[in-house]
């Protein structure tokens, strides 16, 4: 077994260089990403542990809770360290019943930016993703010109430093890049869900970060006998192997695994030390075609 050559632990995100292992804050809200967390102190502890570790990239949104996750980030970490990149996303609001509603008008996007600024305690948002969830199940075609132009106007006003796109197709990314600079793309991708293989390689060639959401499978964590047997062989957990595989997959992949547990956070960050041998990579590459979930 030949160990694979070490990979770079960092990649650029806008005008910063961040550690490729970051943290996704969505799990800090209540069940269904709605309302307060079951354990407020535990949520603060996760964020403080992340900040005390090498995490310098946190993914969030004001529609988690809504407002709750950003307010917890502010409570745990404000004043924010200069090197911390907080990435947020806009394009939805939450109904009183927890529903997710599209919010793409210039007025709603402007309100979303101001809500994020206030709840995070920032003067400028470092990166804002326009989340184009026209279809909840998979990215669906449709012009993004109107909302992205509105977001680019907010960037010109100095409220937003960099812009990214989420839940988008290659056609929408191409359209977006004609309107403004796109520094990152956030779509669903993991060991078992590899629709974006070609897109990731194309973005890598253009130096654009790819930030997979649900890197561990999201609400249905990854389960696969191959993943479990590779993990057992390497003395790691299946989730660590899933993250290590993503780090190997392409240098432009930035990870934002979500957790509400300090123990899981530590395990996830330790995945950066895990070296996957060639034969393990080959086996893991077969997971998606085997139809594992």
Ligand X SMILES: NC(=O)c1ccc[n+]([C@@H]2O[C@H](COP(=O)([O-])OP(=O)(O)OC[C@H]3O[C@@H](n4cnc5c(N)ncnc54)[C@H](OP(=O)(O)O)[C@@H]3O)[C@@H](O)[C@H]2O)c1
**Which chain residues interact with ligand X by CB under 6 A?**
24-27, 59, 89, 131, 166-167, 186, 213-218, 221, 237, 239, 256-261, 264, 267-268
Query: In angstroms, what is the minimal distance from the CB of 180 to ligand X?
Result: 19
Q: How many CB atoms lie within 10 A of CB 223?
A: 12
Structure tokens at 12: 């650029």
Closest to ligand X by CB, 131 vs 248, is: 131
Taking CB atoms, the residue at the shortest distance from ligand X is: 258
Report the DSSP pairing between strands 182-186 and 160-166: parallel
Q: Is 94 exposed, middle or buried (0-12, 13-18, 19+ CB in 10 A)?
A: buried
Q: What are 182's strand-pairing partners?
A: 163
Closest to ligand X by CB, 24 vs 117, is: 24
Query: In angstroms, what is the minimal distance from the CB of 286 to ligand X?
Result: 20
Query: In angstroms, what is the minimal distance from the CB of 167 to ligand X?
Result: 5
| 30-55 burial: b if 16+ Cβ within 10 Å, else e | eeebbeebeeeeebbbbbebbbebbb
Structure tokens at 127: 């990166």
Q: How many CB atoms lie within 10 A of CB 253?
A: 21
Closest to ligand X by CB, 65 vs 217, is: 217
Closest to ligand X by CB, 195 vs 279, is: 195
Given 11, 23, 64, 189, the catalytic residue = 64
Closest to ligand X by CB, 135 vs 278, is: 135
Query: In angstroms, what is the minimal distance from the CB of 2 to ligand X?
Result: 27
280 contacts: CB under 8 Å, gap ≥ 6? 230, 233, 234, 241
Sheet holding 23-24, edge to edge: 23-24, 57-59, 85-90, 125-131, 160-166, 182-186, 209-210
Query: In angstroms, what is the minimal distance from the CB of 271 to ligand X?
Result: 8
Structure tokens at 63: 């529609």
Closest to ligand X by CB, 150 vs 164, is: 164
Query: In angstroms, what is the minimal distance from the CB of 241 to ligand X?
Result: 11
Residue 62 parent element (H or E):
none
Q: What are 21's strand-pairing partners?
A: 255
Q: Which of 213, 183, 180 is nearest to 196 (CA)?
A: 213
- Whether 11 is catalytic is no
Annotated catalytic sites, by residue? 64
């Amino acid at each position: 077994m030949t160990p694979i050559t070490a990979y770079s632990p960092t990649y650029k995100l806008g005008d910063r260089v961040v550690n490729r292992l970051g943290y996704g804050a969505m799990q800090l809200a209540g069940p269904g990403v709605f309302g307060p967390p079951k354990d407020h102190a535990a949520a603060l502890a996760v964020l403080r542990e992340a900040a005390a570790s090498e995490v310098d990239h946190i993914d969030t949104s004001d529609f988690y809770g809504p407002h709750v996750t950003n307010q917890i980030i502010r409570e745990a970490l404000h004043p924010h360290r200069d090197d911390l990149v907080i990435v947020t996303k806009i394009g939805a609001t939450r109904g009183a019943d927890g529903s997710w509603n599209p919010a793409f008008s210039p007025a709603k996007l402007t309100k979303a930016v101001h809500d994020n600024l206030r709840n995070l305690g920032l003067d400028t948002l470092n990166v804002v993703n326009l989340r184009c969830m026209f279809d909840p199940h998979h990215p669906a075609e449709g012009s993004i010109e109107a909302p992205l132009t509105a977001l680019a106007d907010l960037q010109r006003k100095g409220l937003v430093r960099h812009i990214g796109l989420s839940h988008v197709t290659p056609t929408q990314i191409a359209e977006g890049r004609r309107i403004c600079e796109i520094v990152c793309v956030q779509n669903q991708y993991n060991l078992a869900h590899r629709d974006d293989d070609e897109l990731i390689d194309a973005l890598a060639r253009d130096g654009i970060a790819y930030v997979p959401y649900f890197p561990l499978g999201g609400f249905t964590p990854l389960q696969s006998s191959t993943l479990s047997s590779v993990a057992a062989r390497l003395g790691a957990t299946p989730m660590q192997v899933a993250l290590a595989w993503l780090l190997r997959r392409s240098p432009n992949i930035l990870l934002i695994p979500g957790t509400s547990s300090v123990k899981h956070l530590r395990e996830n960050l330790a995945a950066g030390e895990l070296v996957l041998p060639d034969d393990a990579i080959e086996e893991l590459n077969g997971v998606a075609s085997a139809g594992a979930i």
